[in-house]
Amino acid sequence: MIEYTTTYVFPWHAQFSARAESFDVRRGRAAALARLSRSTRPAILHGASGLQRGYVDLLAAAVLARRGRPVLLAEATWQPGSRAIDRLFRVPPPIGVDAAPRHGRWLGLGAIRMIDGPSVHYAVLSRHELDTFPQVWGVDRARVHFTPFCATARELPELPEGEGVIASGNSLRDYRALVQAAPQIDAPLTLATRLPLAATGARKIEHRFMSPEEHEARVRGSAVVVVPLLAGTERSAGQQTYLNAMGLGKPVVVTDAPGVRDYVTDGETGLVVANEPGALAEAVNRLLSDQALARRLGAAARADVLARFDLRTYVDGLLELADRILRESARG
Interval 51-110: pLDDT, tens: 789 899 999 999 999 999 999 999 999 888 877 787 887 888 889 999 888 888 887 888
Same domain, yes or no: 174 and 46: no
Same domain, yes or no: 12 and 65: yes
Q: Report yes or no: 123 and 321 within 8 Å, Cβ to Cβ.
A: yes
Q: Is residue 160 part of a domain?
A: no
Q: Is residue 26 part of a domain?
A: yes
Looking at residue 151, its pLDDT comes to 97
Same domain, yes or no: 173 and 292: yes
CA max distance for the chain: 64
Same domain, yes or no: 208 and 99: no
Looking at residue 2, its pLDDT comes to 81
Q: Report yes or no: 259 and 129 within 8 Å, Cβ to Cβ.
A: yes
Number of domains in the chain: 2
Q: Is residue 83 part of a domain?
A: yes
Q: Is residue 299 part of a domain?
A: yes
Q: Is residue 158 part of a domain?
A: no
Q: Is residue 155 part of a domain?
A: no
Looking at residue 200, its pLDDT comes to 64
Same domain, yes or no: 17 and 84: yes
Looking at residue 102, its pLDDT comes to 85
Q: Residues of 285-323 as b/e, b for ≥16 C-beta within 10 angstroms?
A: bebbeeeeebebbbebbbebbeeebbbeebbebbbebbe
Looking at residue 202, its pLDDT comes to 61
Q: Is residue 156 part of a domain?
A: no
Same domain, yes or no: 125 and 24: yes
The one-character DSSP state at 92 is: P
pLDDT tens digits in sequence order for the chain, 332 residues long: 789 999 999 999 999 999 999 999 988 999 999 999 999 999 999 999 887 898 999 999 999 999 999 999 999 998 888 777 878 878 888 899 998 888 888 878 888 899 999 999 999 999 999 999 999 999 999 999 999 999 998 788 998 889 999 999 999 999 999 999 999 999 999 999 999 998 766 668 999 999 999 999 999 999 999 999 999 999 999 999 999 999 999 999 999 999 999 999 999 999 999 999 999 999 999 999 999 999 999 999 999 999 999 999 999 999 999 999 999 987 76
pLDDT digits (tens, 9 = 90+) for 202-226: 668 999 999 999 999 999 999 999 9
Same domain, yes or no: 125 and 82: yes
Burial of 21 (0-12, 13-18, 19+ CB in 10 A): middle
Q: Which domain holds residue 17?
A: 4-150+311-331
CATH of residue 184: 3.40.50.2000
In the beta sheet, which residues pair with residue 224? 165
Same domain, yes or no: 82 and 195: no
Same domain, yes or no: 56 and 186: no
Looking at residue 99, its pLDDT comes to 87
Same domain, yes or no: 126 and 180: no
Q: Report yes or no: 5 and 36 within 8 Å, Cβ to Cβ.
A: yes
Same domain, yes or no: 99 and 232: no
Q: Report yes or no: 166 and 226 within 8 Å, Cβ to Cβ.
A: yes
Same domain, yes or no: 178 and 238: yes
